Amino acid sequence: MANVLVTGGAGYVGSVCCRQLLDQGHSVVVIDDLSAGCREALPNRVGFLHCDIGDRDALSRLLKQYQFEAVFHFAAKALIPESVLNPGIFFDSNVGSGIAMLEVLRAAGVRKFVFSSSAAVYGSPFMIPMVEEHPKNPINAYGETKLIFENVLQWYVKAYHWSVVAFRYFNACGSDGVCGENHNPETHLIPLLLQTAAGDRPFFEIYGGDYDTADGTCLRDFVHVSDIAQAHVRALEVLGDPGFRVYNVGTGISHSIKQICRAVESITRRKLAVKVGARRIGDPPILCASPDKIMRELSWTPNHSSMEEIIESAWRWTNSRSNQLVGEELCEPRAVR
């Protein structure tokens, strides 16, 4: 079993991954600045340090206290519209602070690293489904920061003989029963639809109904957060010899926006008020991953990523949020001094 340091572990994907690591018998310490995460989402079996990943002194002290076999790096600024309007803070946080963290890890002799990357590194697709070798041409600063950091990690592999796995997520969604999507502001499709179903929004707006698709709306590949976390846990099995491995995390199946609207209506049994507006700049008609490589090399399958299970799990979480943080499992995590 491994001692794993998880950056951004109080966030959506990170906290789900922490629970799966613990279930597999691993030890977990989380660092998070709580700018987007929720401390109460962490199980009490994890160690917790409230700090920024760029705080070299705090991270150095932590690494003297623990012997970590691997680092799972989730911490990042991730709101794509904000990255277009204010790119500087994204490069500062996702790249600048990230490199500061890498240097502290290098000094401590940590060489096994799992990176939470993004399908945003690809930009608009040239081919569908998208394989890992697809050209990279990000259309927003968020995607650019992820691509830059991937390139940085490849140089660490060459120079310092690190073992790195990078996962390019497509659309993370759903709930593991404890944590679900909760962005501020909310920009993701499924939580917006569920907020509309719950009466918290007067209507849902589809951005563009005239795409060259079967029903005129964009198609996207959605993957359950539990399946994404499982991919990270599987990565521990291949973090051995030095090298850089990159994998798409998707299902290979795309759903249109209108299809998802109908699925939400069916599962929630509520009629949605939906309006069709203008296209958003930069939205490609279709995004769909090829998951062949991760299935072949990590024996990974998206067991929870049917659209029905995704929406049902997210809807249950939406309806139970007032009670979800009750119970011993979600008590205060151990503070790391």
Positions marked active-site: 142
3-state secondary structure 7-67: ECCCCHHHHHHHHHHHHCCCEEEEEECCCCCCHHHCCCCCEEEECCCCCHHHHHHHHHHCC
Q: Which residue has the tokens 């709306």?
A: 217
Altogether, the residues listed in the chain come to a count of: 337
| C-alpha R_g of the chain | 19
Q: What is the DSSP string of 145-200?
A: HHHHHHHHHHHHHHHH--EEEEEEESEEE---SS-----SS---HHHHHHHHHTTS
Q: Are 32 and 11 in contact (CB under 8 A)?
A: yes
